[in-house]
Amino acid sequence: MAQTTNDIKNGSVLNLDGQLWTVLKFQHVKPGKGPAFVRTTIKNVLSGKIVDKTFNAGMKMEFETVDNRTLQYSYEDGDNYVFMDMTTYDQIMVPKTLVDSKFLLEGTDCIVSFHDGTPLSVELPASVILTVTHTEPGLQGNRSNAGTKPATVETGAEIQVPLFINEGERVKVNTTDGSYLGREN
């Protein structure tokens, strides 16, 4: 069955000139004058580049199927990270270039996208709980830097935390931008 631009949905994966693109946003437009078209915002699956692209309505498109699986990060092995499928216990090697490892801890469940058995991308959970391994003691009354100080977490990443956070405390961190979300017990 031939698919057209009328079948585009958020999350669809398109094959454009041999490259895979994920549809982030789309809008079918029927102007008063002229032919209808589909305006999209698409993201290159491999490079992460985001572009806006317009297609004529009814144009034939090549859609690809992408398999999203929840896998658990196990360990680092050379140029790869090893993830485990917790239902089949298969170990899957994922190239380091596909993973933003600043907040990746052993035992973290991630969503790994595959196309024809090849890993395309790794999505970390929205937030993770990490232990602060190093930070300077906060001085009460020191508000010159809006009440935050740098802290190193167990993955080696440096984040900004409130002055009252001390070494050994567990903090919740947003994996998208590295912001402090709160203290965990």
Q: Measured between alpha carbons, how far is residue 102 from residues 70, 84, 96, 124 in Å?
A: 19, 19, 12, 10
Residue-range domain boundaries for the chain: 3-64, 67-123, 127-184
Predicted pLDDT of residue 88: 92
State yes or no: pLDDT of 141 exceeds 60. Answer: no
| pLDDT at residue 145 is higher than 60 | no
- For residues 134-152, average pLDDT: 74
Residue 48 binned pLDDT confidence (cut-offs 50, 70, 90): confident
Return the CATH fold of 3-64: SH3 type barrels. (2.30.30)
pLDDT at residue 120 tops 90: no
Q: Given the structure tokens 């996208």, which residue do they identify?
A: 113
Greatest CA separation found in the chain?
A: 68
Q: What digits encode the pLDDT tens for the residues 69-104?
A: 999 999 999 999 999 999 999 999 998 888 878 889
pLDDT at position 164, please? 86
Average pLDDT in the 144-155 region?
81
CA distance 32 to 143: 57
> Residue 148: pLDDT above 90?
no
Which residues is 151 bridged to in the sheet?
135, 159
pLDDT at 144: 52
Second CATH level (architecture) for the domain 67-123: Beta Barrel (2.40)
Specify the CATH architecture of the domain 127-184. Beta Barrel (2.40)
Is the pLDDT at 138 greater than 70? The verdict is: no
Its pTM stands at 0.71
pLDDT given at position 49: 86
- Calculate the alpha carbon distances from 16 to 8, 38, 52, 91 in Å: 13, 15, 13, 31
How many angstroms separate the CA atoms of 60 and 62, rounded?
Answer: 7
How far apart CA 120 and CA 20 sit, in angstroms, is: 9
pLDDT at residue 73 in the model: 93
Q: How far apart (Å, rounded) are the C-alpha atoms in residues 98 and 147?
A: 35
